Amino acid sequence: MLKRCVELHETGQFSQFFLDYIGGKKELQPFYTHAPILESFKQAIDQKTFSQENRKILVAALQTQYANQEVSYAVSKNIESLSSAQTFTVTTGHQLNLFTGPLYFIYKIVSTINLAKKLAQTYPKHRFVPVYWMATEDHDFDEINYFKLDGKKYQWNSDQTGAVGDFELGKDFKEFLKTVSFAPDVFVDAYSSSETLAEAVRKYVNSLFGEEGLLIVDGDDVNLKREFSEVILSDLFEHTSYERATEATEKLEELGYSSQIFPREVNFFYLDKGVRERIEKMDSGFGVVNTELRFSDQEMKDLVAKHPERFSPNVVLRPLYQEMILPNLAYLGGPAEVVYWLQLKGVFEHFNTPFPVLLPRNFALLLNTKVQRKMAQLNWGVEDLFVDVEHWKKTFVKAEASMDIELTKQKEVIAALFDLKGKEAAHLEKSLENAFAAGKVRALKILDQMARKLRKAEERRLHTQIERASCIQELVKPGGSPQERVVNMMQFYLGNPDLITELLDCFDPLDFRMMVLSDES
């Protein structure tokens, strides 16, 4: 692939909050521990504390999670290596999107794998394991139950409730699967041989990335949750997480940055088959919203002790959970993810857990042959891909017009004529000056109408070029959103089975620019 890069601030796709973070703005430095640079990892390694007992529990959990799945030698060795104090993880996480969902699902994982490789080269005394954290406990099914390909939406509808990882791939899913007959075997095999959505996602992600040694972690695990029990109790009864996150949120807002997440007094859901609902503190004890479940304080403490798996952290505490059960050094996320972690440093400090290096995933735009041809016809460079098309059209039509379509000189002549004659007429009768002024306004409005007609006529003459720009825009920002947040990987993978290998070759996890990738031909 041919790789050309554009600075992120030139794309118009990123918040100032995110750009300030990766730019190292001084005011944001108190909200994180390590700058997002390669040199930060030496300090992160030195600061990371992870006991041998924690490693033993993690390895056992992973061995159980992979028990019924064929794994590559690289995956097997990486699981085994986690027993060593010299092994660390770098992690990304995402929901269980159908058929991977948007392209950035793949970009996250590729970025994480490449970071592990770069760290291994830089710090050869240590081993670095890439991790994909499956958001099996998420319950927002509407966010993940579809994918978009060639402008068409493919959607699986189900009336199941609760954590999506437990959703069963029953008759309704098998019927849906028939509608995507074009899907590669890696997906068809995974979905066809799995009973639940979590099982299927584990299989296809492992098939796509297992040879790279990617480990897939499911946090919905009783033994891993047991390590989080003290945090669960603290959040339920002391609300310290709420206080610390709220404090950081208020400070960020004082700096002019909008909140990305909103802490609650209790930051856990009650999790059971078909149920994932918020836990709320009541006048007496606790309740689970949208259910009749009620617990006294003692009953809640007993539940934490006996069934920690019933407690599912929300966005405020999921990052902490991840960092407490993994020997993790870095988290790679999208722009909104990276900055919401900045609200959480105080929570980490309260629980004596090192705050990881926060890195953005890589950002990319894939160009097909059709778009490259249209770019050449318009003489566009990669920077032009991110212009506002409406603004470009106005500029382009004005520059290419066969005459002055804005009638600028004519307006100046008319305005000057009315002004001159208005002043002369005022000597006869003062009210005539106002009459000429009103006449000037009407005359200029007529010229504005003529100018619009001229512009429309020029647009019709130049419709081929304008249509080319619109076609390019639809690939770059389908429906007005960036390609990587809309288009499914199959749009490119079906015609190029080497897509992932090529992305692995192109991505640099410490290069914070937009990559524009195209065939070298």
CA atoms within 13 A on the CB side of 40: 15
Instruction: Please tell me the distance from the alpha carbon of residue 321 to that of residue 148, in angstroms, as a whole number.
Output: 32
Q: At which residue do the structure tokens 């991977």 appear?
A: 100
352-379: average pLDDT = 95
Supply the DSSP symbol for 102: B
Beta bridge partners of 268: 313
Q: What pLDDT score was predicted for residue 427?
A: 87
Residue 459 pLDDT level (bands cut at 50, 70, 90): confident
The pLDDT of residue 401 is above 80: no
Q: Which residues contact 332 (CB under 8 A, 6 or more apart)?
A: 90, 91, 92, 108, 111, 112, 115, 359, 360, 361, 509
Considering Cα of 311, then 314, then 317, then 320, what sign does the dihedral take? positive
**pLDDT attached to residue 353:** 97
Q: Please state, in angstroms and as integers, the Cα–Cα distance from residue 124 to each residue in 225, 354, 415, 439, following that order.
A: 32, 22, 76, 81
H helix and E strand count, the chain: 22, 15
Domain spans in the chain, listed from the N-terminal domain onward = 2-221+316-365+499-516, 230-311, 369-380+387-481
By CB atoms closer than 10 A (0-12, 13-18, 19+), residue 82 is buried
User: Please, which residues bridge with residue 133 across strands?
Assistant: 93, 217
Q: In whole numbers, what is the pLDDT of the chain averaged over residues?
A: 95
Q: Could you give the C-alpha distances from 44 to 143, 148, 263, 291, 493, in angstroms and in order?
A: 34, 39, 27, 43, 36
Residue 436 is encoded by which pair of tokens? 């000429």
108-152 confidence digits (pLDDT tens): 999 999 999 999 999 999 999 999 999 999 999 999 999 999 999
Please, is 275 exposed, middle or buried when counting C-beta atoms within 10 Å of its C-beta (0-12, 13-18, 19+)? middle
What whole-number distance in Å separates Cα of residue 483 and Cα of residue 513?
A: 15
The whole-angstrom separation of Cα 57 and Cα 226 is 10
Task: pLDDT band for 458, please (50, 70, 90 cuts).
Answer: confident
Phi, psi dihedrals of residue 364, rounded to the nearest 5°: -145, 155
Check if the beta carbon of residue 299 is closer than 8 Å to that of residue 287: no
Q: Tell how strand 328-333 and strand 357-360 pair up.
A: parallel
54 torsion bin: left (phi>0), alpha (psi -120 to 50), beta (else): alpha
DSSP bridge partners of 269: 278, 312
Nearest to 12 by CA among 394, 388, 513, 390: 388
Is residue 84 within 8 A of residue 127, CB to CB? The reply is yes
Nearest C-alpha neighbor of 311 from the set 237, 259, 260:
237
Beta bridge partners of 281: 286
Say if residues 128 and 90 touch (Cβ distance below 8 Å).
yes
Express each pLDDT in 35-86 by its tens digit.
Answer: 999 999 999 999 999 999 999 999 999 999 999 899 999 999 999 999 999 9
Segments in 82-126 forming alpha helices (H): 104-122
Q: How far apart are CA 235 and CA 242, in angstroms?
A: 8
Q: DSSP state, 288?
A: E
CA neighbor of 44 nearest in space, from 111, 112, 90, 77: 90
pLDDT tens-digit readout, 210-257: 999 999 999 999 999 999 999 999 999 999 999 999 999 999 999 999
Handedness of CA 96, 101, 106, 111 (dihedral sign): negative
**HSE-CB of 372 using CA atoms within 13 angstroms:** 13
Residue 521's pLDDT band, with cuts at 50, 70 and 90, is low
d(CA 325, CA 338): 20
φ and ψ at residue 329, rounded to 5 degrees? -110, -30
pLDDT digits (tens, 9 = 90+) for 275-332: 999 999 999 999 999 999 999 999 999 999 999 999 999 999 999 999 999 999 999 9
